[in-house]
A and B are shown apart, each in its own frame.
Chain A
């Protein structure tokens, strides 16, 4: 039986027995139960963690962290925090907010455990970015797929409670994407040459949406994708982890474990090969919009995942001499750390002066920022476009950043890039 297979070191047995405090014992109890269910034979040491538990899902979210705090819990490794439900830098932005709002307390309690108040879904853009081959324990699907694919660090997607247990124990179950044998590409997606006629940002999002929907549990390998920026790879991974459950993808010639097809597939042939045409990509992009061109919009949300400094600079460039149409609210989601860097140069002031509202620590897509007049939202994020109709109850239009800026100016959906 699986439950007999997990072997703990002497140190781990001591942690489990409460010799390093009640919080450690609690974390180890949950972690070993989880490890047995996923069939891990041992735990492995992780060098850092990223916690997705700051979003408030009810009293149990807060009670769990409170229990760890009251038992003297501390994270054992450097640990960053994902977005919370509240913008602590702009406290008026999220509606209904009191000092003792449990959503706010949940974010603060995590800091008491020693977590860094990064409050970003893009920890890979921060100073604590992990390195190639490092074992880490991360939550948040876009962060996980970026760490595995673009950096070559190693993590499974750790969900609520377990990510924090990993941080406190400094351990993760040795299974899945932590191990070489589960990182091999299995499903090859081969792009037709006509894909190169598409706008680069849109191509990356469209390919992400397609591999998410079609790869299932297999690890996708992409061939024929023109060289892209880290931000484009970030967008690809985020949407692939939304339309599907991709935790690792390889792009031949671009991502670190895929110098060539043979290496990416661990010396084996891919089990499946799928060709993708420009038409497939365009259809996938159309699925990300629930309204047609010319449809009126009331809001634009940029930065899901959180914008990088490079993306903020591009936004600043496009917002010179630009203004949104009356009645169109424009939000840009990023982290407090990246925004501070933008405010140290002209980027931040230019964006702010053009009427764009920076949203820090959280994201338009997870909390109540949009007001009830917003019926249709535009975004440059495939991830937000995928989730907005269900999460926010709005209609949605996806477009490139240029499309988005032109649309916000016109007050209706306009497309300027192919």
Chain B
């Protein structure tokens, strides 16, 4: 099992157990993600065609349009969003989308960043993974991956 330390931009309130899917290329939710089915629709993205609903999505960062906040909020509302998003770099647009969805719909999609830099985000792909809060440390969490 691999364990990585995370910092919370939007903290999970309970453990998330789900498959993890990682990419080395950022994803623009606007134009790159279909809220109706949760799939990546950007043809230039290595994850084109994959469904992200309910998964732990790992990315270097968001990418592109500032309308990505709206699209992520809409996906969270519809239930097609990932269960949580782990980023290598802070991305205010992704956090804004998730925060708005939490405010409007009380639906939480935690957003986290890796504490230590990692060579490949695509390596963070596993059929069994979990994001776990760290008791007593509200802005810390860990990502566990089955090897």
Interface of A with B (CB < 8 Å)?
Answer: 1-3, 26, 29-30, 33-34, 37-38, 52-53, 55, 57-61, 63-64, 67, 139, 141, 157-162, 390-391
Contact = CB atoms under 8 A, between A and B. Distances in A.
Contact of A60 (B31, B90, B101): B101
Contact of B30 (A57, A158, A162): A57
B53 interface: no
B9 A160 contact: no
A139 B100 contact: no
Q: Report whether over half of chain A's contact residues are helix, strand or loop; otherwise say mixed.
A: helix
Interface in B59-78: 65-71, 73-74, 76-78
B96 A390 contact: no
B104 A160 contact: no
30 contacts: A29-B99, A29-B103, A30-B96, A30-B99, A30-B103, A33-B96, A37-B95, A38-B90, A52-B66, A57-B67, A57-B70, A58-B71, A58-B77, A59-B77, A60-B73, A60-B77, A60-B101, A64-B100, A64-B104, A157-B66, A159-B66, A159-B68, A159-B69, A159-B96, A160-B69, A161-B70, A161-B96, A162-B69, A162-B92, A162-B96
Contacts of A38: 90, 92
A63 B70 contact: no
Q: Report whether over half of chain B's contact residues are helix, strand or loop; otherwise say mixed.
A: helix
Contacts of B70: 53, 57-58, 60-61, 160-161
B24 interface: no
Interface residues of B, number: 31
Interface string B86-114: 00001111011101110111000000000
Contacts of B104: 60, 63-64, 67
Contacts of A34: 92, 95-96
Contacts of A390: 31
Given A60-B77, A159-B68, 13 more contacts: A30-B103, A34-B95, A37-B90, A58-B73, A58-B78, A60-B73, A64-B73, A141-B66, A158-B66, A160-B66, A160-B70, A161-B73, A161-B97
A67 B103 contact: yes
A390 B28 CA distance: 14
B139 A160 contact: no
A63 to B, nearest CB: 5
A29 B74 CA distance: 19
Contacts of B93: 159
A29 B76 CA distance: 19
A374 to B, nearest CB: 20
A391 B96 CA distance: 24
Query: Ordered nearest first, which 7 A-B pairs have the shortest CB separation?
Result: A159-B66, A58-B74, A57-B70, A60-B73, A60-B74, A160-B70, A37-B92
A376 B70 CA distance: 30
A141 B77 CA distance: 27
A158 B103 CA distance: 20
B130 interface: no
Interface string B33-77: 001000000000000000000000000000001111111011011
Nearest to B63: A245
B67 A60 contact: no
A23 B116 CA distance: 37
Contacts of A2: 90
Contact of B67 (A1, A30, A63, A160): A160
A53 B76 CA distance: 18
